[in-house]
Structure 1
Amino acid sequence: MTTSPRTLKVGLTQWHPTTDIGSNLEKAARVIERAAADGASVVVLPENGLILGTNSEMREAALSVDSTPILALREQARRIGVVIVLGGMKNRTDEGIFNSAVVIDAEGSVVARYDKLHLFDANIDGQSFEASSVEQPGDRLVVIEIDGIKVGLTICYDVRFPELFRALAAAGAEVLLVPAAFTQTTGEAHWHTLLRARAIENHAFVVAPATVHSPTTDYTDAFATYGHALVVGPWGDILADLGESAEGVQVVELDVGEVERARTKLPVLSGRRDPRVYAGEPDVIRIPIEQKEPAR
C-alpha cells in the first residue's frame, strides 16, 4: 500500500513597500492573485509589506486586524480560497502595538497570530534601529497546522536566535516561516547563511518572503532592504530566490516527506539531551599560557 505524498504549495512573495499603505496593499493583492492562479494554497507576505518607514511613521500607521486594509486582505482570502500569512504587521491591540504575523484562513477569518519575540534594537553602519520604540515583544511560540502540516511562525530578526527554531521543530514544525525586512548590509552578509542554517539544523523547510530596496531613485527608503526572498529545503538546498525583484512571486511545492527523510538520516531532534543540561552553567577551565623566551 502506498501513501499519498504530503505536500504544501506555498506562494513566496517580495515587493518594495513605501509609506503609502494603499499602494502597498495593491502590490500585496497582485502577488496574492498571481500565487493563487499558480496553484498556491498558502501565500506568505513579507514583514512590513504594508508600510516601511521610520519608527514614528510605522508606529503612527499601526493597524488593527479589523482595519480597512486588513479587512481587504481577509476578503481576498475568502474570495479566492487561500490561506494568507501577513508576515509582519504593526498590530494595534488593546494591550499595545506588536509586530504580528497574522494568519487568515480561506474563509477570511483571523485564526492565529504570532507576536515577534526578538525586537531589532541594533546599530548598523551608524543607523539606529530601535524597534522597541515602536512595538513590544511577544511571549509565546506559535505553530499552526495547515492540511495536516505543521508550520512554525517567526519574523525577521528571530532568525538569529536558533533556540526558537529548535523549539518549534521539537514541537513538530516541518515548515518554518521567516517573513522579513532584512537590511541591505546584514542581508548581503548573513541572510542566505542564516536561513540555510535554520533549515539544516532542524531539517525543515524555511520559507522567507522579503521586502526589497527601491529600484529607482524617485523614492527614498527609510532603510534599504535586501530582498532575496528564499525557500530552503530541509537539506539546505535553495529552492527559490527572488533576487532583487521589485515585485515578485513564486509558487513552490513543498514535499514534506523530505523532512521526515532528512530527520531519519540525521536524527538531531531525537538526539537532544534533557533541556536542563543546556540550561546549566558550563564548567569553565582556565588554562594559563606562560610566555617563554624563544629558543636561540
Structure 2
Amino acid sequence: MKVAILQLTSSDDPAENLVMVQDMIADAVSQGAEFICTPEVTNCVSLDRKHQASVLSYQEGDPTLSGLQSSAKEHGIWLSIGSLALKGGEGDRFVNRSFLIGPDGKITATYDKIHMFDVQVNEAETYAESSGYAPGDQAVVADIGAAKVGLTICYDLRFPYLHRALAKAGADILLVPSAFSPVTGAAHWKPLLRARAIETGCFVIAAAQTGTHAAQTGKKRTTYGHSLAVSPWGEVLLDAGVAPGVTLVDFTLSDVPRSRERIPALSHDREFSGP
C-alpha cells in the first residue's frame, strides 16, 4: 500500500486551506498514492474561539468536507481527513472530528476526539481544549479495503488502552493526525508513536501540522511537524521534518501479522486485582 502523508501549515482561513489541501492531494495522486492522510484541524488552526465561531460550519454543508469528498471521488482514492473543527458540539462547543472518505467520495467513518488537551506545558503555553470542544466517547475501526484502520486524534496518543482496544478490534493501521506542541513534540512525539506501534503490532501513520500558523485574529499557534510513519516493529519509516509538503511511504501489510506472531502480546492479557 502506497500512503501519502500531507504535512500542513493550515491558517485560520478554511477556504484558503481547502485549496492548498486539494492541490497537495492531486500531487500525491500523481506520485501513486492510494491512501492519503491529512493532519488534525486541517480546515482551521486558531486559538481565537470568536473567530472559529465566525468561520466554522456544521458538518452538513461544511465546504472543506464537501470539497475533500469531491477530491477523493475525482482521484478514486481513500482519504483520511485527520480532523475538521466543526460546529455542533454539546452546548456552544465545537467538535474535533476525523473523517474517512472512500474512493466514491462518501463518508465511511467518523470519529470525535475522545481525550481533551487540557494542559499547562509551561508558563507561556497553556491549552484548555475542553473549553471549546466537546469530547467524543466512541472508539472507531474502519475498513479501507486492503486494511482496517483505527481512528485517533493527537492527545489520544498518550492513552495506550485506546490503541490496544483498536488493535484488538482488528486495526492494522493506527491513524494519529496531530497538531502537536513544539515543546511536548520534541520530548515525546517520536517515542510515543513508536511505543503505540510496538505495543499493538500496527503500522502508525501520524500526519502533523507544522510551523507558525497565519492568524487573522488572536495569537498565532506554532506546531511541531515531523509527520511519522512507523512499522509494527517500531521502526520509523518516514519522518517528514518541519517543512509542509507531501511525503510517501510504501507499506507491506503482511508485516502486521508477522510482528504479532513474533511478540503475541495482544493475546496475553490477564485479569489482575488492585492496586
| TM-score (ref. length: structure 1) | 0.86
Q: What do residues 160-194 of structure 1 show as CA deviations (whole Å, max 9, x unaligned)?
A: 00010011111111100000000111101110111
Matching residue within 181, 188, 191 for 1:190: 188
- Contact preservation (8 Å) 1:152, 1:168: yes
3-state SS in 2 of match to 1:252: strand
RMSD between aligned residues: 2.0
The aligned counterpart of 1:288 is: none
Name the residue aligned to 2:68: 73
Task: Give 5+ residue unaligned stretches, structure 1.
Answer: 1-7, 283-296
> Structure 1 residues 28-37 or 189-198, which shifts more?
28-37
CA distance in 1, matches of 2:190, 2:5: 15
Contact 1:62/1:90 (CA < 8 Å) preserved in 2? yes
Equivalent residues in 2 for 1:61-210, closer than 5 Å: 61-65=55-59, 66-93=61-88, 97-126=94-123, 127-210=125-208
Alpha-carbon distance, 1:64 to partner? 2.7
1:270 and 2:263 correspond = no
Unaligned runs of 5+ in 2: none
- 1:32–1:219 distance in 2 versus 1, CA, 3 Å: farther
Matched, 1:256 2:250: no
Q: Are the equivalent residues in 1 in contact too, given 2:34–2:78 (CA < 8 A)?
A: yes
Report the CA distance shift for 1:135/1:268 in structure 2 as closer, same or farther (over 3 A).
same
Bigger mean CA offset, 59-68 vs 184-193: 59-68
Counterpart mapping for 1:224-243 below 5 A: 224-243=222-241
Is the contact made by 1:229 and 1:242 (CA closer than 8 Å) also made in structure 2? yes
CA contact (8 A) 2:12 2:213 kept: no
Secondary structure at the residue paired with 1:207?
A: strand
Q: What amino acid sits opposite 1:40 in the alignment?
A: A
Report the alpha carbon displacement of residue 220 of structure 1 after superposing the two structures with TM.
8.7
Q: Is the 8 A contact 1:55 1:134 kept in 2?
A: no
Question: Contact 1:176 / 1:206 at 8 angstroms: preserved in 2?
Answer: yes
TM (normalized to structure 2)? 0.92
The equivalent residue for 1:27 is 20
Change beyond 3 A, Cα 1:187–1:219: farther
Q: Supply the distance in 1 between the matched residues of 2:143 and 2:98 (Cα, whole angstroms).
A: 15
Aligned residues: 269
Q: Does the CA-based 8 Å contact 1:214-1:221 persist in structure 2? A: no
Residues 1:16 and 2:9 aligned together: yes
Distance, in Å, in 1 between the alignment partners of 2:235 and 2:108 is: 31
Three-state SS of the structure 2 residue aligned to 1:75 is helix
Q: If you compute each CA radius of gyration, which structure gives the higher value, 1 or 2?
A: 1
Task: Give the Cα–Cα distance (whole angstroms) in 2 for the partners of residues 251 and 131 of structure 1.
Answer: 31
Percent of aligned positions with the same letter in both sequences?
38
Partner of 1:286: none
Does the aligned pair in 1 maintain the 2:11–2:213 contact within 8 Å?
Answer: no
Give 1:90 shift: 1.3
